[in-house]
Structures are given as C-alpha cells and as structure tokens.
Amino acid sequence: MTVNTRVLVNDFTYHVPATLEEALRFLDEHGADAEVLAGGTDLIIQMKLGRRSPKFVVDISKLDELKHLEAGDKVRLGAGRRYMDVLPYLRDLGRCDSLAEAIDSIGKLQVLSVATIGGNLGNGSPAADTPPPLITYDATVRVMSVHQERKIPLREFHTGPGTTVMAPNELIVDVEWDAFPAGKASAFRKLTRVASDISKVTCAVAVQRDGDTCTLCRIALGAVGPTPMRAGSAEVALEGQDVGDALIEECARLVVEDVSPIDDIRCTEVYRREAAGVLFRDAFQTAWERATC
C-alpha cells in the first residue's frame, strides 16, 4: 500500500491571526472545525495521512504573545517558542537539565527549527518527550480562551492518546514551574529504535537532596501508558530516605509495577516494562549526582 507523504488531500481555510486575541476569537467561532498550527511537525503529517481533516488551520507561529522566555522565582516558556530557541536558554539557565536533554534528544535540525513546547504538549502523544520532565517539575500549563484563563497542573493535562483537557476554543499560552533551589537537579533518559525516532520509553527524574537524604523526588515516564505518568510508589519510597543501591533497586522494581505499557510496532509490553526500570536507575543516579553541584 502506498502511503501519502507529500500532499495535503483535503481543502481547508488557512488563517494567520495578527494577535493572540484575534486567534482566540477565531477559535471561539470555529471551535472543533479548526486545528492550531504551531510548528506543524505533528499536524501536517496527520493531515497528509488523512487522520485529521480540519476546515480551518490557524497558524499561530507568528504571535509574539506566545514567545516569551522568563526566569526568576518561576520559569516561564511561551508556548510558541521554537525548540531551537528554548534549548540554549535552558542550558544557560542551568538545573533544568532533563528538559534540555529531552529537547536535545529529538536531534534533527529540521524539527528543532520549527517545533514548539506548546505543540508538543497540545498534541497529546503519550510518547511526547517534553511532558515527563515538565511533570517532574510540577509544571502548570496556562491556557486561554476569549472567556477565561486556566492554569492546569501538567500531570492532569493529558487524558488519553491524543487528547487533553483543553476545550476546542482554547490555546496554550505558556508552561511554568518554580525555579530549582540549590540541591535540586534532574535528568532524562530515552530509548528509541534509531536516533531521533519516536520514543519506545522515556523517564525523567527530579530530585532534591540534603547530604545523603532524598528530601523530594518526582519520577515521570512516557510511552508506558495512555498518558505521560508519574511513578508515585517509587516517589513515596524515596522521600525522606538515605539513598543507597538497595533503595534504588527497590524503587526500580516499583517503577516497573507502576507502568501500564502496551505492545505496538516499536516494542513489546514486556520490553517497555523492564526498560522503564533501567531508565529510572540511570536517570535517578545522574540527577542525584547533579544535585550535589
């Protein structure tokens, strides 16, 4: 069977709003008939394959209101900022290593040059790379419509494969989290079939330490369930405990028990389950070592 990779089959109206307000009003009018184009790395492929056939495509890539990068007590990333801009910003900022590693793992210049944080979150893929690190930061997503503004904890944002809590007339404006204090660090690990492929399994860890004691831990995984997920059992087991090899091994076992992967074209459920434990060990140990710096 020949698969279309070049042609957008269905007719649609292409709209480029000049302001965020104009974009929100357009979405409020056309709602479920419209799709938002940020970088297009997911949407355009889906349209070529005939899986999405919007009547309207709303291109928000030129909206300056979605391109802010701010750091203080909180870090805020505008939803319309390209990965190519966000990656050096995070590296200069420091401590947000896991998100930088997740973006860097995408690898291909063509994607980094157009893809955005907001698009990666809004697409709703369980295998998306940026949600696990952001979930470990206890990040919130700010969304807007012409009627209201909402701040949604990212751990509650995704509801299933390709779905989120967003209404058809809402846009992601930015994502924010508390700046890391001293003694807190993070790491991200990913398994793929080949470099820059969609993830088989991802794991992000953020940890805060006081000497040899873990005072706070967040663990999130991707591609091991219908949404990006927290590994709550391992988090509870780590917090307030002195960290050693036996505890890390026990928490890896708990991570394996917490996930709920499936068999698909990329790998089996058994492989994903075991890989989740391995990635956790590696990510945790790296984040733990970084937290001493």
Task: Write the pLDDT tens digit of every residue in 235-271.
Answer: 999 999 999 999 999 999 999 999 999 898 889 999 9
Domain end position, chosen among 119, 154, 178:
178
Range 153-169 average pLDDT? 96
CB-CB contact of 255 with 231 (8 Å): yes
Considering the domain architecture, whether residues 264 and 195 belong to the same structural domain is answered as yes
82 token code pair: 């390209």
Answer yes or no: is pLDDT of 8 > 90: no
Number of structural domains (the chain) is 3
C-alpha–C-alpha distance, residues 74 and 61, integer Å? 24
199/285 same-domain check: yes
Same-domain status, 74 and 173: yes
Instruction: Determine, yes or no, domain membership for 3.
Output: no
Q: At which of 133, 153, 178 does a domain end?
A: 178
Higher pLDDT, 176 or 195: 176
pLDDT in tens, 126-144: 999 999 999 999 999 999 9
Burial class of residue 263 in the structure, from the number of CB atoms within 10 Å of its CB (0-12 exposed, 13-18 middle, 19+ buried): exposed
**5 lies in some domain:** no
Q: Print the domain residue range for 233.
A: 185-290
Asked whether residue 68 falls in the same domain as residue 117, the answer is yes
Q: Which of 49-58, 138-147, 168-177 has the lowest mean pLDDT?
A: 49-58
Q: How many helices and strands, by DSSP H and E, does the chain display?
A: 10, 15
| Same domain membership, residue 152 and residue 227 | no
**CATH code for the domain in which residue 208 is found:** 3.30.390.50
**CATH classification at residue 37:** 3.30.43.10
Same-domain status, 42 and 83: no
Last residue of a domain, one of 144, 162, 178: 178
Using 50, 70 and 90 to split pLDDT, how confident is the model at 1?
low
Tokens representing 135?
């979930």
**What is the distance between the alpha carbons of residues 14 and 22, in angstroms, rounded to a whole number?**
14
Do 106 and 89 form a contact (C-beta atoms < 8 A)?
A: no
Average pLDDT over residues 27-44: 93
- d(Cα 123, Cα 230) in Å, to the nearest integer? 19
Confidence of residue 293 (pLDDT cuts 50, 70, 90): low
b/e per residue, 223-261, with b = 16+ CB within 10 A? Answer: bbbebbbbbebbbebbeebebeeebbeebbebbbebbeb
- Is residue 6 included in any domain, yes or no? no
Residue 248 lies in a domain: yes
Instruction: Give Cα separations from 6 to 9, 39, 41, 47 (angstroms).
Output: 9, 17, 13, 10
Instruction: Please report whether residue 8 resides in a domain.
Output: no
